[in-house]
A = this chain, B = another copy of it.
């Protein structure tokens, strides 16, 4: 399950993506519009900024803007940032590899093979899910 942090992050990014013309957008505006605790969202956007997914502008009339187009930002990136690995086993992740303690022989482990196949499929689906794609999907379902 995705953490609330990740879900808040995705929703905030979608909000910015839908209002690209009005960038930069302040944390307080997003917090109000999407019903996210202000201080919590502040921390989230700071993390997104440190990960270079958004840019920030300090001071009055400052706020956050996307670093890149909505086509370039996908869910895999956001989820990895906040929730870490996407795979179901630590020995089957690409970015966060850690061997399984319980494992006798990783090379032959059947569970690991399954975990790798699932991860590959899931990551592909999450990379397809860009901000632009998500907004498209919502429009498609509206009628």
Contact = CB atoms under 8 A, between A and B. Distances in A.
Quickly give the copy total for this chain. Answer: 2
A58 interface: no
Contacts of A11: 102
Interface stretch (A22-30, A60-68, A133-141): A133-141
A interface: dominant SS: helix
A110 B122 contact: no
A100 interface: yes
Contacts of A108: 138, 141-142
Interface in A78-131: 79, 85, 87-90, 100, 102, 107-111, 113-114, 117-118, 121-122, 125-126, 129
Given A79-B88, A108-B138, 4 more contacts: A1-B88, A14-B110, A34-B102, A117-B125
